[in-house]
């Protein structure tokens, strides 16, 4: 059995920072060429496998959804016959992306898909669960994806409900984005102790590790009181946040208390997006195809201009060669005339000779 660390948490909750710090404690991420590139949304890097992120999206496709509208899954969903081929592919792909152990893998989608991975992989998993004030997540996610505040809160609720259920029974460290930003060095020591206790070896923290955590990248800071006072947050969501707060710390075996019933409007919101998802995906694919055609058109235009410039250059060269040819022809004619003149002069000289 291999040993690995799953960093779990909702999108925009600080899982990238957590993963990088675990990595700088000496636990490898995926192979370097598979890391997702940095973007303006995450300038310090995602520290996430591009291949496995795409694979998780494939799992959502099989469930007729995507990361932004995951379904509410019943226990045992990961053994559904429709996923047999995906489970087999998951094992092969994971071995290629993570060729050695231990490893640390972060993808927020794993809040939903973790049961499939723990079924498909021969692994002794440990979980680092990072949570963040849901209003901060909603603000960040809405700024990036324009999903709306209430929808983002519903999505946070679905992710964290699923995450706690999936991680139940596993060794887990429940921590917060605030703890990472407030004192990253102390946070790393807590993580080191936790991982050591579950058999995941770590090393000395890299000297540049603390440079990776930049509190300036955090654009909002809210408290639990803000959650209590915000009418957009449902009572079930407030209760879920309370559960997460009470679970903070290390657990040899995570045993989540009874979770609150999900807000009734959460499934309504997500299911409506799932209903529209096939059309949105088609529009998105058409948009990507249109962009691709546009890029090809620009490239063809550029190539056409290059060919035009080459043609003009060749035309200029051709005119120059024609001029040279005409000059050579004139020179040849002149030489011919001189030769004929010399030949006539030679005959004349021969005729003047005695006996000629």
Where does 21-132 show beta strands of DSSP type E?
Answer: 103-106, 123-131
Looking at the chain, how many residues does it have? 356
Q: Write down the H helix ranges in 247-263.
A: none
- Measured from the Cβ of residue 8, the count of other Cβ atoms closer than 10 Å reads 31
What letter would DSSP give residue 325?
Answer: H
**pLDDT tens digits along 205-237:** 877 777 778 766 666 788 889 999 999 999 999
DSSP per-residue codes, 161-201: HHHHHHHTTS-EEEEEHHHHHH-HHHHHHHHHHHHHHTT--
Average pLDDT (307-313) is: 80
Alpha-carbon torsion angle 137, 143, 148, 150, nearest 10: 20
In whole numbers, what is the pLDDT of the chain averaged over residues? 90
User: Which pLDDT value is given to residue 219?
Assistant: 62
**pLDDT tens digits along 27-57:** 999 999 999 998 887 778 899 999 999 999 9
Measured distance CA(45)–CA(19) in Å, rounded = 10
User: Which pLDDT value is given to residue 355?
Assistant: 64
Lowest mean pLDDT among 13-17, 75-79, 157-161, 304-308: 304-308
User: Which pLDDT value is given to residue 138?
Assistant: 96
- Measured from the Cβ of residue 250, the count of other Cβ atoms closer than 10 Å reads 18
**pLDDT tens digits along 240-282:** 999 999 999 999 999 977 899 999 999 999 999 999 877 776 7
Which residue would you say has higher pLDDT here, 83 or 295?
83
User: Which pLDDT value is given to residue 40?
Assistant: 84
Strands 123-131 and 249-251 turn out to be unpaired
User: Which pLDDT value is given to residue 327?
Assistant: 85
List strands edge to edge, sheet with 2-8. Answer: 103-106, 2-8, 123-131, 172-176, 249-251
First to last CA, the chain: 116
User: Which pLDDT value is given to residue 5?
Assistant: 98
Report, at the CATH architecture level, how domain 2-261 is classified: 3-Layer(aba) Sandwich (3.40)
User: Which pLDDT value is given to residue 75?
Assistant: 92
User: Which pLDDT value is given to residue 314?
Assistant: 82
pLDDT-derived band at 356, boundaries 50, 70, 90: low
User: Which pLDDT value is given to residue 217?
Assistant: 62
Instruction: Say which residue the tokens 């050591």 belong to.
Output: 196
Average pLDDT (100-114) is: 97
Q: Which residues does 315 contact at the CB level (< 8 Å), separation at least 6?
A: none
């Amino acid at each position: 059995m291999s040993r690995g660390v799953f960093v779990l948490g909702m999108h925009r909750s600080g899982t990238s920072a957590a993963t990088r710090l675990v990595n700088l404690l000496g636990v490898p991420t995926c192979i370097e060429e598979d890391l997702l590139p940095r973007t303006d949304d995450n300038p310090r890097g995602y520290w996430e496998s591009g291949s496995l992120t795409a694979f998780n999206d494939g799992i959502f496709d099989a469930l007729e959804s995507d990361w932004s509208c995951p379904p509410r899954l019943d226990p045992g969903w990961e053994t559904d016959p429709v996923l047999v081929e995906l489970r087999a592919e998951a094992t092969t792909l994971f071995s290629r992306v993570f060729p050695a152990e231990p490893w640390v893998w972060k993808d927020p989608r794993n809040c939903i898909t973790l049961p499939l991975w723990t079924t498909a992989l021969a692994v002794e998993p440990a979980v680092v669960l990072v949570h963040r004030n849901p209003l901060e997540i909603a603000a960040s996610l809405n700024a990036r994806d324009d999903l709306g505040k209430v929808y983002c809160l519903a999505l946070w609720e679905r992710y964290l409900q699923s995450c706690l259920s999936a991680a139940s029974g596993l060794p887990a460290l429940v921590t917060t984005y605030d703890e990472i930003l407030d004192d990253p060095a102390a946070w790393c020591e807590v993580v080191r102790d936790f991982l050591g206790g579950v058999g995941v070896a770590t090393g000395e923290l890299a000297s540049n590790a603390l440079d990776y955590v930049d509190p300036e990248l955090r654009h909002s800071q809210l408290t639990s009181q803000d959650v209590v006072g915000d009418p957009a947050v449902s009572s079930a969501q407030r209760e879920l946040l309370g559960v997460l707060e009470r679970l903070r710390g290390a657990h040899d075996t995570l045993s989540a208390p009874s979770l609150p019933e999900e807000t009734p409007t959460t499934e309504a919101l997500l299911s409506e997006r799932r209903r529209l998802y096939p059309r949105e995906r088609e529009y998105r694919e058409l948009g990507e195809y249109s962009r691709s055609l546009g890029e090809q058109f620009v490239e063809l235009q550029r190539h056409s201009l290059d060919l035009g410039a080459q043609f003009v250059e060749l035309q200029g060269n051709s005119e120059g060669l024609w001029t040279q040819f005409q000059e050579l022809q004139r020179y040849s004619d002149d030489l011919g005339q001189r030769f004929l003149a010399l030949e006539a002069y030679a005959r004349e000289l021969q005729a003047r000779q005695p006996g000629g």
